[in-house]
Structure 1
Amino acid sequence: MFKRTLQIGILNIMHDKARTNADFQQVLTQTDQPVALHFYYPTMHYQDRPVPSTVQAALEPLDLEAVAKLDAFIITGAPIEQLPFEQITYLPELQALFDVLAHVPQRLYFCWGGMLALHELYQVGKADLPQKLFGVYPQEILAPSPLLKGLESGFLAPHARYAESLRSQIETHPQLSLKATTPAGKLFLVQNQQGNEAMLFSHLEYQADGLTAEYRREVSAHPERHYQQPENQSGQPFAWQQTQQVFFENWIKQVSHTVNMEVLNYGKSNN
């Protein structure tokens, strides 16, 4: 059976652009569903300075007209979760992106990208954590989700962040559903009621050495500071590999199903 290639855009605002591209290439192309990935950077981030050659080599400038034609879109995390949203220099470009994404069939936001989406689309605030949530933790399923199909409570996932969207505001929001958290109540997955928008607070795209690489980056950038090493990594180094495979397979299936339904409905409306 012929399967149309899914067109997925990714706004890559992580620190290591090339590594992040490779991570998403790995996790999004592991099924038999053909996928084409389009990696972007926010142009306003470089409005007062040249775009670094490493960014130009890995990413394209964000093109909202091209984004409007995609089947799905991802906004990655970013190492800026302790900054107030209004201090983000390229926030107007992100707000324009959200306007376009309202018409893209599926959207998935990671970590800070999830905090931003919850703030801009659902008016949910965020707060700094007492200390960085950093390591591999079990997750508890609170409500069913197609994205968690095949996983049972206790599945493992990596977390790496200094801030958190406000759970109290999520739980009382009529358009949102909290699907899973850590046993300590830290967010894992939030979705809108329509099921076409997901906020994933785990860096499930990370490969086996992803947390260690993040730790080394922070230490290298600020050797004068003390940084905690990732927790619960002494045993299996890639403990979230099964979670990663199941989650992204489920998400690709959901993108494909949504696109196929739109094509079917479009055909019916033109008969």
Structure 2
Amino acid sequence: MPIKIPSDLPAYDVLTREGVMVMSEEQAARQDIRPLKIALLNLMPKKIQTETQFARLIGATPLQIEFSLIRMSDHESKTTSTEHMEEFYHPFKEVKDQKFDGLIITGAPIEHLDFGDVTYWDELREVFEWTQTNVHSTFGVCWGAMAMINHFHGVQKHLLEHKAFGCFRHRNLAPASPFLRGFSDDLVVPVSRWTEIRQPELDAKPALTTLLSSDEVGPCLVEDPQHRALYVFNHFEYDSDTLKQEYDRDAQNGTAVNVPVNYYPDDDPSRTPLNRWRGHAHLLYGNWISEIYGTTPYDIERIGLESSDLRG
């Protein structure tokens, strides 16, 4: 939880620069306790697996969170039962009048398609615009992040010759960022994608800041304060065996795919993989929730009407 000190105390600026979570008396006076409303726009085919992964991470804080599941209005899931979708998911058109403290937009296995060829692209662009008036902070993940950064900044995704697949070392480029509070200087992150975002194209956008990056697979986590958004192109949320499930599936289907890099002990698929990213996954999403808690208006109807800076 944040430390509450006067905003004009010299320690306030010092601690802020160091990445320590502080809250001014003015901020604290605006807030009472209420449940945070966090929604998941789930674009993944394995709905239940994905919703569980994210619920595990955002539910690991001492805060009370109201978790909602959203789907695209006219897109029908072919891999999750109709009963599950009807009971637990709300089409976007039914929630667009609501406001949320946070929204996670997942990836989708459609990287090979141009954005405009995605059947629900027009509605997804409507979602992106809706976040600017109805969501305090948005977290785009993998393809969802690539789509959102393309919509707001025109940054392109690029096809890879070979799938980026495995656990890759990443560098912490912004240790003082509140989103990286508690992070190591370097860390392992699961990666599973056929496309990439290129750092020089991010550098050409002054509004964007890269927080985590890998020499092997490029940028991982990007902050977009102007749109109150984070974009992560890799998969902190993955379970220990998610990469194994993907590898086994592709191998059984005859798809040409390499053994996930640095995932199995001694790169031996017959051995049980070890989870080396779980702690940083909890830190990342816990930090995101903490930032939302410390900055979102108590009156949820004020979302979209107050400062556009997530930390302002």
What TM-score, normalized to structure 1? 0.88
SS at match of 1:97: helix
SS at match of 1:102: helix
Give the Cα separation in 1 of the matches to 2:255 and 2:240. Answer: 25
Residues 27 and 205 in structure 1, CA contact (< 8 A), matched pair in contact too: yes
For 1:5-154, what aligned pairs fall within 5 Å after superposition? 5-46=35-76, 53=82, 54-63=84-93, 65-66=95-96, 68-103=98-133, 104-144=135-175, 145-154=177-186
Give the Cα separation in 1 of the matches to 2:251 and 2:86. Answer: 26
Letter in 2 for 1:238: N
Matched, 1:239 2:276: yes
For 1:251-262, what aligned pairs fall within 5 Å after superposition? 251-260=288-297
Give the Cα separation in 2 of the matches to 1:33 and 1:120. Answer: 32
Larger Rg: 1 or 2?
2
CA gap of 1:20–1:12, structure 2 versus 1, over 3 A, is: same
Which residue of the other structure, out of 155, 161, 164, is the alignment partner of 2:187? 155
Residues 9 and 67 in structure 1, CA contact (< 8 A), matched pair in contact too: no
SS at match of 2:192: strand
Give the Cα separation in 2 of the matches to 1:83 and 1:100. Answer: 24
Deviations 1:69-127 (A, max 9, x none): 11111100111112110110100100111111012110000000110011111111110
Deviations 1:192-229 (A, max 9, x none): 14482100112111121121122234445xx1322223
SS at match of 1:151: coil
Aligned to 1:216: 248
SS at match of 2:40: strand
Letter in 2 for 1:126: K
Give the Cα separation in 2 of the matches to 1:246 and 1:67. Answer: 31
Residues 73 and 91 in structure 2, CA contact (< 8 A), matched pair in contact too: yes
CA gap of 1:15–1:224, structure 2 versus 1, over 3 A, is: same
Aligned CA-pair RMSD: 2.6
Tell me how far 1:238 sits from its aligned partner.
Answer: 0.7
Percent identical pairs in the alignment equals 27
Give the Cα separation in 1 of the matches to 2:156 and 2:119. Answer: 19
Residues 243 and 260 in structure 2, CA contact (< 8 A), matched pair in contact too: yes
CA gap of 1:133–1:262, structure 2 versus 1, over 3 A, is: farther
What runs of 5+ residues in structure 2 fail to find an aligned partner? 1-30, 266-272, 307-312
Residues 44 and 93 in structure 1, CA contact (< 8 A), matched pair in contact too: no
Tell me how far 1:178 sits from its aligned partner.
Answer: 1.2
CA gap of 1:84–1:139, structure 2 versus 1, over 3 A, is: same
Letter in 2 for 1:245: H
Residues 167 and 188 in structure 2, CA contact (< 8 A), matched pair in contact too: yes
Residues 5 and 36 in structure 1, CA contact (< 8 A), matched pair in contact too: yes
Deviations 1:172-197 (A, max 9, x none): 10211111111225121011144821
CA gap of 1:55–1:228, structure 2 versus 1, over 3 A, is: farther
Matched, 1:201 2:233: yes
Give the stretch that moved more between structures: 244-253 or 194-203: 194-203
Residues 17 and 58 in structure 1, CA contact (< 8 A), matched pair in contact too: no
Letter in 2 for 1:116: A
Paired residues, what number? Answer: 262
What runs of 5+ residues in structure 1 fail to find an aligned partner? none
Aligned to 1:227: 257
Give the Cα separation in 1 of the matches to 2:95 and 2:215. Answer: 42
CA gap of 1:73–1:216, structure 2 versus 1, over 3 A, is: same
Residues 64 and 100 in structure 1, CA contact (< 8 A), matched pair in contact too: no
Letter in 1 for 2:117: Q
What TM-score, normalized to structure 2? 0.77
Letter in 1 for 2:220: F
Residues 70 and 91 in structure 2, CA contact (< 8 A), matched pair in contact too: yes
Give the Cα separation in 2 of the matches to 1:151 and 1:67. Answer: 37
